Amino acid sequence: MKHSLLTLTAVLLAPLAGAGAAGQSARKPNVLFLFADDQRADTIAAHGNPHIKTPNLDRLAGAGFSFRSNYCFGGNSGAVCVPSRAMLMSGKTWFHIDTVSLKGVKLLPEHLQESGYVTFGTGKWHNGEPSWLRAFQRGRNVFFGGMSDHTKVPVRDLGPDGKLTQVRTGEKFSSELFADAAIEFLRSHDGKKPFFVYVAFTAPHDPRMPPLPYREAYYRNLPPLPANFLPQLPFDNGMMRGGRDENLGAWPRTETMIRDQLAEYYGLITHLDGEVGRILAALKETGQAENTIIIYAADNGLALGSHGLLGKQNVFEHSMRVPLIVAGPGIPQGKSTQAFSYLLDIFPTLCDTIGIRRPAGLEGESLRPLWEGKKDRVRDSVFLPFIQIQRAVRDHRWKLICYPKIGHIQLFDLQSDPDERTNLVDRPDSAEHVRRLLKLMRQWQAKVGDTLKLPTENKPPEKVDLTGRQREPDQWQPEWIRKKYFDAPQGQSAAPPAAPHVAGPPKAASTPNIVVILADDLGYGDVQCYNPHRGKIPTPNMDRLAAEGMRCTDGHSSSGVCSPSRYALLTGRYHWRTRLQAGIVGVFGDPLIAPDRLTIAGLAKQHGYRTACIGKWHLGRDWGIPQEKRALFHIGQGSPAVTDAHRAAWQEVFSKPIAGGPTARGFDEYFGTDVPNWPPYCFIENDRTIGIPSEFLPAALLRDNQASLQGPALKGWKLEPILPTLGDRACDFIARRAKAKQPFLLYMPLTSPHTPLAVNDAWKGKSGLGLAYPDFLMETDAVVGRVLDAIEQSGIAGNTLVFFTSDNGCAPYIGAKALEAQGHFPSGPLRGYKGDVWEGGHRVPFVVRWPGVVKPGSVCRQLVHQADVMATLADVLGTKLPDNAGEDSFSLVPLLTGEDRPIRQHAVSCASRGVAGLRKGPWKLIFEPDPLAKTDVRLYNLDDDIGETSSVAAARPELVAAMKALMGHLIADGRSTPGAAQKNDVEVRIHKMGTPTPGKKAARAKAKRPPGK
Ligand SMILES: [Ca+2]
Ligand SMILES: [Ca+2]
């Protein structure tokens, strides 16, 4: 029965596959094996790295099955490539083979040849010529060795006589050279036999010298430090006395050096990715894709700053874990497994998948049952033996590393500590884990014949410090790398060649005057220079400031509304760490800034500054209103009659100082209106109202985007004088303080172009757009101009650092649609308006002018946040913030001094109703469900989709998971900058607010109302 079925199958398939013996084997799938050199497992975008671009590998991952816990089985040499490739090709561990020559062992390509395959090789072979000649029948651009200058690879071909040709120098970049050879083979293949094509790239192995555009792209957007970055490994893991990999950068490793080397490493990978794309395209073009198994893997990982290391000579995850993707007929698409696998499993896996016998003695397992769903694991643990100096074993949660030479043991809980940062070995409750894992390690040793004696107890290692140790570049490093990483003074790395430097950094501890102008509800597209094509309202003064300074195009407020954004700007801490999870501080609300919280004003005062706040506060005060009299203060709508009870209560409260305002939060002086469209309708100077409110506003002032809420007002209070009066006061302060020897900080939160849209006569109709808002915006711009003039005329412009920004986007209710109908788009290219978690809610104009430091007319495209003003100020003053201040603040000084690299890896900005948006590089995750896509969050790539039009959350589950985890950390740590963890004031809910709950409607309605208390 079995026999006849087989015969029937053969007969049915024969006409499709051609005739004769060749036809018999042509039914077997081809194998295209793409093998990278020194590529860490975490360098594929689709596998959750938002900082690297690997579009072709992403596509391959989407079309195939990814092994996410795939390892190299250690090695017996510092040149890890040699044993790794030997184990791959033989399917055996390094204990049982001659890794250098592969003498006497059946190799994967040899075995495939015997099963009717034609074998073709290009690229790196590090196990000697005789073994290559056994493995391959065809070959072009073959490189024998470990490494070379990528632009001068010494290569050889397999001649028609079966011998290798003389060495010649490749004329292209290594990856292109090997891709060319593979493509040439694919195009010329006659299809008579199935092929095994092995493309062994030398990238991203050093020298890390990708073609210039590839590294420039990453210099502009430097990858972040690895989470487990250390300046040095503090002990000798057995490789600290030599080893060329570690010599590629000075000790201690610096952030600049590591991030530059990462940029260069990522550049090599992105370039390699492009060549992979070309090969896959050729496979498709030639009609062979359908019947080809594609394997993508790398021989070993690399440290690149992790644990203070640069090499792969260690058994940490970053160095032993490698990518493995398999795609092809019968293999599920876009799926992955966390089951443990090894590179040496590939040999038996291919035998199993192709349907050929596996040679005796293979030590790996077939991985086919994993993608078929027949097994969820092929082993329960992973053993990583490295020479005679390191041994590691891991299970699904715990990892034990032994350093037998120094008796040191490390224990990591990979579940809570995937980056292997905290050694738990000396904790009392770890003893059981250590015992169990040592036993497991001995079982592995017995299985492979490893006789190395393991330590049984941890001996604290001796401290090692390699600072200043001499290093020599090897012959393959190109001139610019020698210059950059070897000629620079020890411990420093020269600047990346592509980063422009326009001016020297400020002197340590300089004391410029600081002016922060914060517009209110000014949209990203409302400022001409931000929206030259779709902005129709002249803003010559704001444009002039930008022309004299730096215009940031990716600057954000903490929220889409007033109070929360102001909180973050003044404290350098996200507002959502406070009670204000949604909405704004309500009418006559309590102070949002805690009395002991450091503000930018408090910091400046500590350094001898005179500090002033002139404008709208909206961060609460201790108004001293007795609970039972609150109704007499917060009246709402309409124009009721004023009673004696009203007047008496107002007299009582407004005749006393009002505590908890600006002068209690670091400002020496204050003048302004608390919130111009809310009561009390009067000016406040320092902690006193100017006059005692005794009337209600006339009804006419509560319409047409004027005042919003009825309440106590001065008799005859007018809304139009508010803005010009603030301008007068600011100019007066500047002129007064310019004469003093003391530096000053002026925080000027404008009341405009927020409502009341109280345009003065001189500006009425100026915009020609027939609406109050554009006229009011022009009036606002003129006030900014007056303040800039005052700085100029006082002779202090050269020593004054000016920030100009807005607390949130344009309010849609000021007539946004009518403006858009006339060609003015208040949010520019962005989606949404004030209040939104969309970019239009919180991406705002953000300009910095600092003559002599900031290059005039420069544009900064890096992610920045208003919370950054705090750390910037500290940096300028040459001081360090304490752990409990500016927890979410990153210094802008590198950007101001002309560096072009990310200063922050992430930023959070929320909707007024609380919903959080998390940025990480170009990615933005919104914690709100997308009902159409049925995802619980939305994900946008702002590089490609600035208008947030199509969520890619469904397609990027791993990135979504990584960003959710990041949000969890930012919340749990109480900070997003390095430093001691801090407590949030309340339980943070901004990442849960988008999730529907029974009480959601009520909560939304509450958040929409100005929340009173
Ligand atoms: Ca390697
Ligand atoms: Ca606002």
Average pLDDT over the chain, rounded to an integer = 92
Summarize the chain as % helix, strand, coil (round to 5): 35, 15, 50
Average pLDDT of span 769-777:
97
> 863 pLDDT band (50/70/90 cuts)?
very high
- Provide the pLDDT for residue 132: 98
Q: What's the Cα-to-Cα distance from 917 to each of 928, 983, 991, rounded to whole Å?
A: 9, 21, 8
Task: Return the number of other C-beta atoms located less than 10 Å from residue 1001's C-beta.
Answer: 10
Ligand nearest to the CA of 84: 1
Average pLDDT of span 596-624:
96
Distance CA 279, CA 275 (A): 6
What distance in angstroms lies between residue 133's CA and the mean position of ligand 2's atoms?
A: 73
CA dihedral 351, 357, 359, 362 (to 10 degrees): 50
Ligand nearest to the CA of 569: 2
> 815 pLDDT band (50/70/90 cuts)?
very high
Token couple for 537: 């309202």
Distance CA 150, CA 155 (A): 11
What distance in angstroms lies between residue 335's CA and the mean position of ligand 2's atoms?
A: 46
Distance CA 114, CA 802 (A): 75
> 643 pLDDT band (50/70/90 cuts)?
very high
pLDDT at 831 over 50: yes
What distance in angstroms lies between residue 306's CA and the mean position of ligand 2's atoms?
A: 43
Residue linked to tokens 């299809």: 191
* % of residues, the chain, pLDDT over 70: 93
Token couple for 281: 């395209």
What distance in angstroms lies between residue 592's CA and the mean position of ligand 1's atoms?
A: 55
- Provide the pLDDT for residue 488: 58
- Provide the pLDDT for residue 995: 66
Contact 92, 363 (CB under 8 A): yes
What distance in angstroms lies between residue 807's CA and the mean position of ligand 2's atoms?
A: 5
pLDDT at 665 over 50: yes
pLDDT at 21 over 80: no
pLDDT at 497 over 90: no
Of 14-28, 197-211, 493-507, 843-857, the one with minimum mean pLDDT is 493-507
pLDDT at 288 over 50: yes
pLDDT at 15 over 90: no
Which SS3 state, helix, strand or coil, does residue 701 take? helix
pLDDT at 31 over 90: yes
Average pLDDT of span 841-850:
98
Does the reported pTM lie above 0.85? no
Greater confidence (219 vs 506) lies with 219
| Strand bridging mode 513-519 / 800-806 | parallel
Distance CA 426, CA 167 (A): 55
pLDDT at 823 over 70: yes
- Provide the pLDDT for residue 434: 97
pLDDT at 393 over 50: yes
Helix or strand run (H / E) with residue 10:
helix 2-17
- pLDDT tens-digit map of 333-379: 999 999 999 999 999 999 999 999 999 999 999 999 999 999 999 99
Ligand nearest to the CA of 805: 2
- pLDDT tens-digit map of 304-327: 999 999 999 999 999 999 999 999
Distance CA 661, CA 590 (A): 9
Contact 683, 689 (CB under 8 A): yes
- pLDDT tens-digit map of 700-757: 999 999 999 999 999 999 999 999 999 999 999 999 999 988 999 999 999 999 999 9
Ligand nearest to the CA of 302: 1
Judged by phi (left if over 0) then psi (alpha if -120 to 50, else beta), residue 156 lies in: beta
- pLDDT tens-digit map of 420-473: 999 999 998 999 999 999 999 999 999 999 999 999 999 999 998 898 888 888
pLDDT at 17 over 60: no
Greater confidence (495 vs 618) lies with 618
> 670 pLDDT band (50/70/90 cuts)?
very high
* % of residues, the chain, pLDDT over 90: 87
pLDDT at 1007 over 70: no
Which SS3 state, helix, strand or coil, does residue 452 take? coil
Of 17-31, 257-271, 393-407, 785-799, the one with minimum mean pLDDT is 17-31
What distance in angstroms lies between residue 562's CA and the mean position of ligand 2's atoms?
A: 4
- Provide the pLDDT for residue 489: 52
Q: What's the Cα-to-Cα distance from 665 to each of 124, 580, 592, 596, rounded to whole Å?
A: 65, 18, 11, 8
- Provide the pLDDT for residue 242: 60
Give the residue numbers marked as catalytic.
Answer: 562, 618
Nearest to 537 by CA among 549, 546, 525: 525
- pLDDT tens-digit map of 526-541: 999 999 999 999 999 9
What distance in angstroms lies between residue 310's CA and the mean position of ligand 1's atoms?
A: 13
Contact 854, 802 (CB under 8 A): no
pLDDT at 876 over 90: yes
| Strand bridging mode 846-849 / 800-806 | antiparallel
What is the distance, to the nearest Å, from the Cα of residue 859 to the centroid of all Cα atoms in its chain? 21
Helix or strand run (H / E) with residue 991:
none
What is the distance, to the nearest Å, from the Cα of residue 799 to the centroid of all Cα atoms in its chain? 34
